[in-house]
């Protein structure tokens, strides 16, 4: 696992990348970049650049810089001719590049790929765009270079003459950079004295750490640096102070005004910067003398607060008003590690059991406890709510996953010369985080398939009397305990004959053809290595992929159904249970042990009649049920449990259906159906037992452990 | 960096400290750093197809933990469980295992100079004892917890780590 700092960097960058991708795709659809889009992209690239530079990932940082330049140019000079598609491509390529690097970093590697090619392409593109629009291609570039030299990683890209948002630095604008040799203190020739206040974006969190970062990066470039609050990391109130009044810096440096501003402009999550140059340190509101510093260091006591009365500074109301949170609803969000949530969920599950242990305590039996019962009901209610809330914590909307499909449709239509649009419905549907992660690949394959195989070429569509642009609808909804995700296209539909033909060739027909239903025929497309496409394209035709869909969804406990209407399109429906870890199970007792069988495998349970169970000459037992002969196994026999009921007429026989066979298992008694939380058998033990048919364990209401029987495995034991 | 430092300090305070417990007439010690907690004996759910010394699994606040009878593990006759019987939960390479022992005594500090290696006996003997600590007149047999779950079990941990590695790789 990466260091926390790197982790945060990866997390933030990935968020920005996602945002960038969405904006780029969105603006392409609109045929151009709105002013807001330009600003957003610019800001995102700028932030990535800054944080990548801080983490010393130069390739990422410089690439971000070159893309940022384009948007800077667009923003500042508002050129008339903008090739939105080409720019989108540049942004997407850069996003892809950075995403790969982030993955590398996440996997413990170093982002070492060279971005030079992309960078050069981007630079050339910008140059050409400037030429096209009749601007001098070199002007801004040179300035940018100057700024870069001065402010290391480029600062705010150029800081050119026509700067519309000068008001942002309202103090700085009023006082032009005057080289003022300070009257007091030891000064050399090119010394400048600055007073700056940095305001971080609302909701960026960890202001004190970010302030510390500013100090750190500035330290090397200035002569003397003081800041307020003094003790950023030690003082608990520092965060609030920085948040409300800004982080104030006082420094002497050789940098001139522009350089210093560029330097501070690089600050990550910068919302607003106020900077002014003063003639001497005496004009600064805060400039501790050498003695004070020494004393402070010596005493290390109460920080000296010469100029820190709460609202002494005459900030204009507009400046003091908290800036609108640019980072969306960042203030209400908090990132939590999944394992912490899992832990919480474990604890809540444990509490539910503990509650049952208290309220159903054997000591209470036969007692009249009205007040206790009332209190217990209240506890039960709260516990139930708590459980629901904790479950909800893991739920995330499908939105992110759905939106990724936009990119796929775009790339494919562009390369295949088709026209299609993706419509998202119900993307706010929430599913377990786990499902969200695993659904992404299957969805991608199905959407690809829809565009590649389903949607026809524009000419064909027009001929068939359809709209030229095909539509793929991706929808999600909650239905009962399931999430239903549908991918519907209005293409040509599946070709039944072709599928059958290929199925015959591949030898995967399981039944006579006449008995196959349409759905069964369509489901052949999910067989491994199956493709009706003659030619292999970049996207599909290799027959790899659709089988991934099925296996991924099965691992989530879901199923896939395909429907198709020739000429009208096809629909793929995915159904997945909302939560993975909870199943309904029937608990049975055998001697002193408890077992749980997933309810959907049980076809019926009954007490066998005298002599209904018979043996074949090998000693295997079986029973006749509805005209078929089913093998019977006794659980106490299989698991070697003492004190169990041996006489079938006193026990209970559960008829299980697994695979294509039915078989009976004999237990002592049914304990009832309940929702159970599946927990894995400890590895230490699961290693030693291999053929037992136990797939996990669960905790029952009374705190005891029940082993979960996997009928499929039992089936394999019997029939092998 | 900070974490490393903390860890080191943590390890330092736990160095030379052993939790001692009784098993028959002997006193054994186990490094305190692997001990997670000590609980009384509780209801054990039997699992099929495991060696006799693996008594089954217990529910420790929602965590399911295998328990091993140390008498049986050392191939001695088993002993009836009583009120004094304890389960020491230890963490071996992130695998939690409960050890059923006759009783837990105390946490002792045994400086390194008081620890001697066990006599070189014939093979297969003493393999679970890493060293012997002297405390006044008495001795404490210091368990080699790594080896204890080794042999047949060691392959198990190897397998597991190999499997985990392959899982991560895919």
3-state SS string over A248-298? EEEEEECCCHHHHHHHHHCCCCEEEEEEEEECCHHHCCCCCCHHHHHHHHH
Res. A155: pLDDT tops 60: no
Please identify, among A94, A116, A150, the residue that sits at the C-terminal boundary of a domain.
A150
**With an 8 Å Cβ cutoff, are B62 and A685 in contact?**
no
In a domain, A105, yes or no: yes
Contact B129, B148 (CB under 8 A): no
CATH code of A284's domain: 3.30.70.1110
**With an 8 Å Cβ cutoff, are A687 and B45 in contact?**
no
In a domain, A328, yes or no: no
In a domain, A668, yes or no: yes
Task: Report the alpha-carbon distance of residue A216 to residue A221 in Å, rounded.
Answer: 10
Task: Report the alpha-carbon distance of residue A156 to residue A68 in Å, rounded.
Answer: 10
Average pLDDT over residues B110-131: 76
**With an 8 Å Cβ cutoff, are A697 and B159 in contact?**
no
Measured between beta carbons, the chain B residues lying within 8 angstroms of A694 are 47-48
In a domain, A115, yes or no: yes
Measured between beta carbons, the chain A residues lying within 8 angstroms of B61 are 347, 350
Whether residues A546 and A682 share a domain: the answer is no
Average pLDDT over residues B82-91: 91
Whether residues A518 and A608 share a domain: the answer is no
Res. B74: pLDDT tops 80: yes
Of A683, A689, A697, the CB nearest to B49: A689
**With an 8 Å Cβ cutoff, are A346 and B62 in contact?**
yes
Q: Pick the more confident residue, A622 or A241.
A: A622
Percent of chain A with pLDDT over 90: 6
Measured between beta carbons, the chain A residues lying within 8 angstroms of B50 are 685, 688-689
Measured between beta carbons, the chain B residues lying within 8 angstroms of A347 are 61-62
**Which chain B residues have any C-beta within 8 angstroms of a chain A C-beta?**
43, 45-51, 54, 57-59, 61-66, 95-97, 149, 153, 156, 159-160
What pLDDT, on a 0 to 100 scale, did the predictor assign at position B68?
92
Measured between beta carbons, the chain A residues lying within 8 angstroms of B59 are 699, 703-705
Whether residues A138 and A9 share a domain: the answer is yes
In a domain, A231, yes or no: yes
Residue-level length of chain B: 170
The alpha carbon of A154 is separated from its chain's Cα centroid by a whole number of angstroms, namely: 31
What pLDDT, on a 0 to 100 scale, did the predictor assign at position A154?
37
In a domain, A223, yes or no: yes
**With an 8 Å Cβ cutoff, are B57 and A353 in contact?**
no
Whether residues A557 and A591 share a domain: the answer is no
Whether residues A439 and A523 share a domain: the answer is yes
In a domain, A315, yes or no: no
What pLDDT, on a 0 to 100 scale, did the predictor assign at position A544?
54
Please state the pTM of the whole predicted model.
0.47
Number of domains in chain B: 1
Q: Two tokens at A172?
A: 């700085």
What pLDDT, on a 0 to 100 scale, did the predictor assign at position A481?
65
From A8-12, A155-159, B107-111, the region with the lowest mean pLDDT: A155-159
> Which residues have C-beta within 8 Å of that of residue A177, sequence separation ≥ 6?
A192, A256, A257, A258, A277
In a domain, A318, yes or no: no
Res. A313: pLDDT tops 90: no
**With an 8 Å Cβ cutoff, are A689 and B47 in contact?**
yes
Give per-residue pLDDT as tens, A515-554: 777 877 887 877 776 765 555 555 554 445 677 788 788 7
What pLDDT, on a 0 to 100 scale, did the predictor assign at position A77?
76
What pLDDT, on a 0 to 100 scale, did the predictor assign at position B163?
42
Whether residues A621 and A710 share a domain: the answer is yes
Please identify, among A99, A116, A150, the residue that sits at the C-terminal boundary of a domain.
A150
Whether residues A342 and A411 share a domain: the answer is no
Number of domains in chain A: 5
Whether residues A411 and A381 share a domain: the answer is no
Percent of chain A with pLDDT over 70: 77
Of A641, A687, A705, the CB nearest to B64: A705
Please give the residue of chain A at the shortest CA–CA distance from B51. A688
Whether residues A109 and A144 share a domain: the answer is yes
Residue A25: which domain range?
4-150
Q: Two tokens at A718?
A: 């019997």
Please identify, among A577, A610, A643, the residue that sits at the C-terminal boundary of a domain.
A577
**569-608 of A, contacting B, C-beta below 8 A:** 592-594
Average pLDDT over residues B11-34: 86
What pLDDT, on a 0 to 100 scale, did the predictor assign at position B156?
45
**Residue of A548, A705, A710, A717 to mutate when probing chain B, most B C-beta within 10 A:** A705
Whether residues A705 and A675 share a domain: the answer is yes
Average pLDDT over residues A490-518: 79
Whether residues A19 and A101 share a domain: the answer is yes
What pLDDT, on a 0 to 100 scale, did the predictor assign at position A653?
93
Res. A654: pLDDT tops 90: yes
Whether residues A449 and A535 share a domain: the answer is yes
Task: Report the alpha-carbon distance of residue A393 to residue A433 in Å, rounded.
Answer: 9
Give per-residue pLDDT as tens, A372-410: 989 988 998 898 788 778 877 878 888 888 888 888 888
Residue B134: which domain range?
2-169
Q: What ipTM did this prediction achieve? A: 0.76
Give per-residue pLDDT as tens, A455-475: 888 888 888 888 888 899 999
Give per-residue pLDDT as tens, A314-342: 433 433 334 343 444 445 677 788 788 87
CATH code of A140's domain: 1.20.120.160
Res. A106: pLDDT tops 50: yes
Q: A683 touching B, CB under 8 A?
A: yes
Q: Pick the more confident residue, A190 or A478.
A: A478
The pLDDT-based confidence of A231 (bands split at 50, 70, 90) is low
**With an 8 Å Cβ cutoff, are A350 and B46 in contact?**
no
CATH code of B42's domain: 2.40.50.180
């Amino acid at each position: 696992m990466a260091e926390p700092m790197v982790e945060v960097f990866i997390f933030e960058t990935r968020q920005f990348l996602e945002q960038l991708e969405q904006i780029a795709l969105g603006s392409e659809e609109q045929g151009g970049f709105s002013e807001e889009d330009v600003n957003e992209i610019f800001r995102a690239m700028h932030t990535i650049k800054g944080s990548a530079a801080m983490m010393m990932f130069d390739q990422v940082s410089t690439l971000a810089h070159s893309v940022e330049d384009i948007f800077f140019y667009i923003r500042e000079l508002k050129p008339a001719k903008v090739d939105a598609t080409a720019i989108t491509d540049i942004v997407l390529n850069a996003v892809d590049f950075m995403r790969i690097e982030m993955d590398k970093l996440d996997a413990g590697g170093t982002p070492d790929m060279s971005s030079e090619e992309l960078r050069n392409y981007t630079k050339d593109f910008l140059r050409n765009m400037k030429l096209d629009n009749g601007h001098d291609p070199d002007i801004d570039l040179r300035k940018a270079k100057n700024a870069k030299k001065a402010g290391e990683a480029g600062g705010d890209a150029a800081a050119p003459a026509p700067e519309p948002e000068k008001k942002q630095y309202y103090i700085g604008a009023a006082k032009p950079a005057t080289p003022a040799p300070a009257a007091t203190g030891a000064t050399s020739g090119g010394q400048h004295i600055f007073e700056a206040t940095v305001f971080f974006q609302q909701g960026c969190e960890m202001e004190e750490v970010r302030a510390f970062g500013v100090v750190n990066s500035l330290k090397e470039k200035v002569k003397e640096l003081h800041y307020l609050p003094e003790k950023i990391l030690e003082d608990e109130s520092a965060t609030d102070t920085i948040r409300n009044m800004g982080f104030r810096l006082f420094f002497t440096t050789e940098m001139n005004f522009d350089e210093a501003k560029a330097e501070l402009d690089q600050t990550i999550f910068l919302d607003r910067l106020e900077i002014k140059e003063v003639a001497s340190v005496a004009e600064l509101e805060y400039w501790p003398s050498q003695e004070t510093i020494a004393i402070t260091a010596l005493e290390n006591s109460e920080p000296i607060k010469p100029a820190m009365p709460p609202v002494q500074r005459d900030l204009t109301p507009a400046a003091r008003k908290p800036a609108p949170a640019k980072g969306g609803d960042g203030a209400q969000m908090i990132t939590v590690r999944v394992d912490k949530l899992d832990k919480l969920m474990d604890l809540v599950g444990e509490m539910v059991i503990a509650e049952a242990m208290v309220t159903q305590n054997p000591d209470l039996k036969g007692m009249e406890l009205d007040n206790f019962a009332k209190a217990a009901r209240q506890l039960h209610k709260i516990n139930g709510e708590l459980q629901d809330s904790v479950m909800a914590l893991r739920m995330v909307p499908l939105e992110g996953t759905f939106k990724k499909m936009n990119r796929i449709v775009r790339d494919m239509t562009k390369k295949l010369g088709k026209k299609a649009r993706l419509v998202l419905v119900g993307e706010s549907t929430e599913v377990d985080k786990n499902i969200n992660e695993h659904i992404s690949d299957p969805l991608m394959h199905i959407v690809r398939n829809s565009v590649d195989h389903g949607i026809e070429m524009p000419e064909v569509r027009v001929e068939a009397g359809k709209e030229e642009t095909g539509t793929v609808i991706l929808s999600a909804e909650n239905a009962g305990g399931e999430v239903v995700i549908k991918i519907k296209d209005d293409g040509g539909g599946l070709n039944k004959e072709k599928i059958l033909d290929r199925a015959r060739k591949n030898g995967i027909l399981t039944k006579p053809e006449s008995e196959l239903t349409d759905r069964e025929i369509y489901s052949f497309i999910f067989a491994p290595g199956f493709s009706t496409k003659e030619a292999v394209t970049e996207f599909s035709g290799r027959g790899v992929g659709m089988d991934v869909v099925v296996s991924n969804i099965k691992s989530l406990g879901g199923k896939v159904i395909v429907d198709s209407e020739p000429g009208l399109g096809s629909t793929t429906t995915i159904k997945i249970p909302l939560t993975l870890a909870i199943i309904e199970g029937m608990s049975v007792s055998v001697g002193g042990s408890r077992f749980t069988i997933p309810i959907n495998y049980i076809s019926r349970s009954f007490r066998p009649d005298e002599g209904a169970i018979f043996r074949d000459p090998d000693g295997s037992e079986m029973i006749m049920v509805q005209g078929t002969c089913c093998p019977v196994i006794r659980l106490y026999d299989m698991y070697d449990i003492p004190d169990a009921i041996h006489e079938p007429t006193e026990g209970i026989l559960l008829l299980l259906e697994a695979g294509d066979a039915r078989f009976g298992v004999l237990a002592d008694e049914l304990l009832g159906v309940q929702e159970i939380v599946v927990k894995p058998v400890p590895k230490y033990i699961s290693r030693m037992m291999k053929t037992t048919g136990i797939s996990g364990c669960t905790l029952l209401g009374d705190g005891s452990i029940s082993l979960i029987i996997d009928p499929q495995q039992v089936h394999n034991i019997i029939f092998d | 960096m900070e974490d490393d430092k903390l860890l080191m300090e943590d390890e330092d305070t736990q160095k030379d400290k052993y939790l001692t417990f009784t098993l028959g007439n002997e006193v054994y010690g186990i490094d305190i750093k692997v001990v997670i907690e000590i609980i009384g004996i509780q209801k054990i759910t039997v699992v099929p197809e495991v060696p006799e010394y693996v008594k089954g699994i217990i529910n420790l606040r929602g965590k399911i933990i295998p328990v091993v009878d140390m008498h049986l593990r050392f191939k001695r006759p088993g002993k009836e469980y009583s009120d004094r019987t304890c389960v020491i939960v230890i963490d071996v390479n992130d695998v939690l295992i409960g050890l059923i022992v006759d009783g837990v005594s105390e946490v002792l500090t045994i400086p390194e100079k008081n620890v001697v290696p066990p006599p070189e006996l014939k093979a297969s003997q003493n393999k679970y004892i890493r060293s012997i600590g002297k405390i006044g007149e008495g001795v404490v047999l210091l368990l080699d917890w790594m080896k204890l779950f080794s042999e047949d079990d060691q392959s198990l941990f190897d397998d597991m780590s190999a499997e985990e590695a392959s899982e991560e790789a895919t």
